[in-house]
Structure formats: structure tokens, C-alpha cells
Structure 1
Amino acid sequence: MIQNMIKEGKIVPSEVTIKLLQNAMLESANNKFLIDGFPRNEENRAAFEAVTKIEPAFVLFFECSEEEMERRLLGRNQGREDDNIETIRKRFKVFMESSIPVVEYYESKGKVCKIDAAKPIEEVFEAVKAVFTTQDAVESSEN
């Protein structure tokens, strides 16, 4: 079911994703988590926070033009059947309609850390490390 939904550029139901995430978090010995690509819509966000009682400390938002993302996806040559122009463009449309409101929600709470992802990999990595270093310093000063 999940593979078919991804192929169609659709979003997997929140209850499925949240249950998978929650199980992985509970089975882990960690108390900090980096969740990639979730929540993807407002319903995901509200359901995750309601079920887990967790609100993120911060949200990373990788800014990159649609043209650059399309170029990278088509050039990654991973043999994924969803790496075709039609599916990629569907995913962009779904992202703009569904995910941007989540980013805006967290931005209104001062929790979004934006990263210019159009830069070279090394520069993006350094920017991400700087965010985590800053967040660790903030957390340490709060304890």
C-alpha cells in the first residue's frame, strides 16, 4: 500500500506513519530523534503531536528551487520507478499544497531553521551542523 501511494505521489495515511515512527522511537534507547520528511501535511502534524505528545524542538527546512530539485532527482540514477518527470511534478504540487502550510505553522512558532540546499553538499552539511550545534547550546543553557 505504501509503495503504491508513493508511486502515485500521494501521502501515506497519518495513522500508518505515526505508528511506524512511534514504534521506532519506543524501541530506541535515544531521547532525541531526527525525523526526515514528516509531517508532510497539517493533519500529520496535528495527529503526531496529539498521539505522541511531542512537539519538535526545531524544524529544518531545506530551501531549493523546483528546477534544481527536478534536475537532481532525474540525475540521481537510483532506478526508482517514481523518479520520472510526471511523478516528480506531482510530488512538487503535493508538497506546495500540503507541506508548506506545516513549515509556515512551525515558522510562526519560531521553530524553523532554513538551509540553502542549492549550495554544494559540503556547505549544506556545514550549515546543518551549525544548526545542531546552536540547538545543543540552547538546550544545555535551558537545563
Structure 2
Amino acid sequence: MTDIGAPLDIKVPVVWVLGGPGSGKGTQCAKIVEKYGYVHISSGDLLRDEVAKATPLGQQLSAIMTKGELVPLETVLQLLKNAIKEKADSAKGFLIDGYPRTVEQGEKFTSLVCSVKAIVFFDLSDDLMAARLLERGKSSGRADDNEETIRKRLQTFRNESMPVVEKYASMVVTIPATDPVDVVFGKVVAFMDKL
């Protein structure tokens, strides 16, 4: 295991944003960034950016991702830590989007990266998430927006990510994501204003 050092001492709120695929995490994160000036960090974006830069690490990541294998957890944690450290002096807060996906990832984040103030969980039924993803698939061009893959992604989310919500229940704010975007955001604002 790579030693990524002691956890950071971050003075602003760090919030995990969780929810199944199609629950509206990305949309709500964009609105939070706009209103509150938080820094939005997506582990997937960090990995894709590193690959696009074609650094030695990016080339390693590309080979791993091309084979459909999972990137080592320590690598993802190091990228998250670097991204937080880079903006620590100017950020009003951090939104960690779609991470952690498992309890182990959550435990390693809090022990190696930094502590977490709260978790926002966008709750939506599997049927509604599937419908949204199929609709998005008509225009997104994303290869994973098809019915078979969507069902697998939803099952993986239920099996691996719901235990995170259960483990950290005392920190979780559950926001029903069935309403229109602005109604959901109203509930987000009610919570964010208290942070």
C-alpha cells in the first residue's frame, strides 16, 4: 500500500454526496456550487482528467480502466486528497460526489484524507432512476445508459453503497429526489444553510 500520509486538517465542511445513478447528484452539486461556492470533486472526473493529461499515472490508470478493472483504492484516495489540498485555502466547502461507494472506502477516506461533516443522500426508487437514465441515454451517448447495464448499476449501488448510508446514519440527511430539480434543491438549501 502506498503511504498517502496523515489526514488533512480541513477547516470548511466536507460533504459526501450519495445517491444511485440518475438520482440527480450531479445536477444538485452544480446548484450547490453556484449558491454556496463549494468545490465539487468527483472521483470519476479526477481519474478521467489524470488519464487525459497522459501523465505516467494517467497511463497506468488508462491501462487499468481499459481492462475494466478497478483503480486501486489508495490511488483514488491520493487523487481526492490532492484535489482537496489544492483548494483548501480558497474553498468554502467540498462536495465529494459519488464517493464513497463502499463502507471500506468511507473508512479509508476519513482515516487518510480528512474528516467529513455530513452526508447528503438523494433517495430515489430504482424504477425512477432507471427511467431517468434511459431518457438520458437517448442524448448522452454514454455506453452505460442502456437497460441491462442500468439494472446492474442499480443492483451494485443497493448492495455496496446503501451500507455506507446505514453505517453513517447519524450524519446522513436523506433528501427525496422524486420532485422537480428546484423543489429538491429547496430541501438541499434548508440543510446547507445549517452547515
Coarse TM-score class (shorter-chain normalised):
0.7 to 0.9
In the alignment, is residue 118 of structure 1 matched against residue 118 of structure 2?
A: no
Provide the C-alpha distance between the structure 2 equivalents of 1:3 and 1:64, rounded to a whole number of angstroms. 31
What is residue 103 of structure 2 aligned with on the other side? 42
Q: Deviations over 1:5-54 (max 9, x none)?
A: 4xxxx8643222211111111111326211111000011111111212x2
Which of 64, 79, 94 in structure 2 is aligned with 1:33? 94
Which of 93, 101, 116 in structure 1 is aligned with 2:163? 101
Q: CA RMSD in A?
A: 1.7
TM-score w.r.t. the length of structure 2 is: 0.61
What is residue 129 of structure 1 aligned with on the other side? 189
Provide the C-alpha distance between the structure 2 equivalents of 1:14 and 1:100, rounded to a whole number of angstroms. 19
Which of 120, 126, 134 in structure 2 is aligned with 1:60? 120
Q: How far apart are residue 67 of structure 1 and its match?
A: 0.4
Q: How far apart are residue 104 of structure 1 and its match?
A: 0.4
Q: How far apart are residue 55 of structure 1 and its match?
A: 2.5
Which one has the bigger helix percentage?
Answer: 1
In the alignment, is residue 71 of structure 1 matched against residue 117 of structure 2?
A: no
In the alignment, is residue 83 of structure 1 matched against residue 156 of structure 2?
A: no
Give 5+ residue unaligned stretches, structure 1.
Answer: 136-143
TM-score w.r.t. the length of structure 1 is: 0.82
Which one has the bigger strand percentage?
Answer: 2
| Alpha carbons of structure 1 residues 93 and 12: separation in structure 2 relative to 1, 3 Å | farther
Q: Deviations over 1:105-138 (max 9, x none)?
A: 110xx11001010111110111111110022xxx
Provide the C-alpha distance between the structure 2 equivalents of 1:2 and 1:129, rounded to a whole number of angstroms. 36
Provide the C-alpha distance between the structure 1 equivalents of 2:182 and 2:151, rounded to a whole number of angstroms. 27
Identity of aligned residues (%): 40
2:120 is paired with a residue whose SS is: strand
What is residue 17 of structure 1 aligned with on the other side? 76
Provide the C-alpha distance between the structure 2 equivalents of 1:57 and 1:97, rounded to a whole number of angstroms. 24
What is residue 139 of structure 1 aligned with on the other side? none
Q: Where does structure 1 differ by over 6 angstroms across 4 or more consecutive aligned residues?
A: none
2:174 is paired with a residue whose SS is: strand
Give the AA of the match of 1:55: S
Contact 1:115-1:124 at 8 Å conserved across structures = yes
Give the AA of the match of 2:142: R
